[in-house]
């Protein structure tokens, strides 16, 4: 078992951090792509995420020339998983990436780290606990994933921008070199608790948008992911469940009165919990099981012109029944 001394030995010393040298991260990325081969990278990605190879090519081509990337798209579509998976595959540093879950109350010092004055006065500035580096320092030489970057308040955005511009983190008079590439994700602007990115920050990022999948791709994703989650129970998602769910999601998303449609994540949870409930009761899963779970999983996800929650539930019931009728009509042919 690791002792406190062992853990302290892993922490960087401020005297070492200020001696850091420049790292050409885009060259490191390009070398990794060249070594692994783009076909192998896309093949590895396809095992984790379906239908995103084109998006991945946009991201990789940007990183290879030193361009930061902002992935935009609907909630639950796989933006963060895509960023993490690509960083894992490239594996240009150890660990493969540093990730920050951004939030509206995040301070600049949470990103940069800060000197603990009490420890510094008592044990000296070079004590491992005198300065605990933040993610903007720890990401040096690698990839920094900023999940939901548009939750960062303007002060934290300014701290990030300074490092992207100058490649240095400034801590109470000390200057620490930090070269990294950012893969950021962003939720739609209509979500609460989000800020607009500053023009200067947005200008430094290539925007890559993940569109909402069509019905066929949705069905493929739902079947693959749901079956993966149920594999330990020896279950595979039935075609009826994935087909009806994909049809339901398409109907809701195409409705002009809906501001925020159902997420893929909530749809997978609906399918798997319906299957799990039937498994617990020792029977086959039914479309009625799915209906119950769809409504309970989606009622807090979708947003639109609804007077109250009852009206929203009634809408979900109607759309699900419509999807179910469409499935039964076409399955007879």
Angle between helices 215-230 and 239-253 (to 10 degrees): 130
Least confident of 43-47, 62-66, 102-106, 260-264: 260-264
CA distance between the termini of the chain? 64
Is the model's pLDDT at 187 over the cut of 60? Answer: yes
Residue ranges covered by each domain of the chain: 11-209, 215-328
* Furthest-apart CA atoms within the chain: distance in Å: 80
Q: Give the span between the Cα atoms of 213 and 219, in whole angstroms.
A: 9
- The vertex-188 CA angle with 192 and 255, nearest 5°, equals 105
* Inter-CA distances, 107 with 14, 30, 149, 156, 298, Å: 21, 33, 13, 6, 33
Task: Give the pair of three-digit tokens for residue 272.
Answer: 């798997």
Q: Looking at the predicted structure, is the pLDDT value of residue 1 above 60? A: no
Q: What is the DSSP letter of 313?
A: H
Helix (H) or strand (E) holding 72: strand 68-72
| Residue range 29-70, pLDDT digits in tens | 999 999 999 999 999 999 988 889 999 999 999 999 999 999
Report whether 32 contacts 91 (CB < 8 A).
yes
* CATH fold of 11-209: Rossmann fold (3.40.50)
Most confident of 17-31, 113-127, 180-194: 17-31
| Percentage of the chain modeled with pLDDT above 90 | 78
Q: Which tokens sit at 37?
A: 């081969």
Phi, psi of 137 (to 5 degrees): -90, -45
Q: What is the reported pTM?
A: 0.87
Q: So what's the pLDDT on residue 277?
A: 97
Q: Is 254 helix (H, G, I), strand (E, B) or coil?
A: coil
């Amino acid at each position: 078992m690791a002792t406190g001394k062992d853990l302290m030995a892993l922490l960087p010393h401020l005297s070492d951090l200020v001696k850091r040298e420049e790292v050409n991260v885009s060259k490191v990325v390009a070398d990794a792509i060249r070594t692994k081969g783009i076909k192998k990278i896309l093949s590895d990605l396809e095992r984790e995420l379906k239908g995103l190879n084109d998006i991945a090519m946009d991201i990789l081509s940007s990183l290879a020339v030193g361009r930061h990337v902002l992935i935009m798209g609907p909630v639950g579509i796989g933006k963060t998983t895509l960023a993490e998976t690509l960083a894992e595959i490239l594996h240009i540093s150890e660990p493969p990436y540093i990730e920050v879950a951004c939030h509206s109350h995040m301070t600049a010092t949470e990103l940069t780290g800060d000197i603990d004055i009490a420890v510094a006065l008592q044990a000296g500035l070079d004590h491992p606990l005198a300065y605990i580096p933040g993610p903007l320092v720890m990401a040096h030489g690698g990839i920094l994933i900023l999940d939901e970057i548009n939750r960062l308040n303007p002060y934290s955005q300014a701290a990030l921008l300074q490092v992207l511009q100058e490649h240095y983190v400034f801590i109470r008079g000390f200057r620490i070199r930090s070269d990294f590439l950012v893969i950021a994700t962003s939720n739609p602007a209509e979500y609460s608790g989000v800020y607009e990115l500053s023009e200067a920050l947005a200008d430094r990022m290539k925007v890559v948008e993940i569109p909402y999948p069509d019905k066929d791709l949705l069905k493929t994703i739902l079947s693959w992911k749901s079956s993966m989650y149920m594999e330990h129970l020896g279950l595979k998602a039935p075609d009826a469940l994935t087909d009806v769910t994909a049809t339901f999601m398409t109907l809701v998303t195409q409705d002009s009165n809906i501001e925020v449609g159902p997420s893929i994540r909530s749809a997978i949870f609906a399918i798997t919990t319906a299957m799990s409930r039937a498994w617990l009761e020792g029977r086959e899963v039914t479309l009625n099981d799915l209906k119950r779970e769809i409504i309970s999983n989606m009622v807090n996800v979708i947003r639109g012109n609804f007077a109250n929650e009852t009206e929203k539930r009634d809408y979900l019931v109607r759309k699900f029944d419509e999807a179910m009728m469409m499935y039964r009509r076409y399955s007879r042919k």
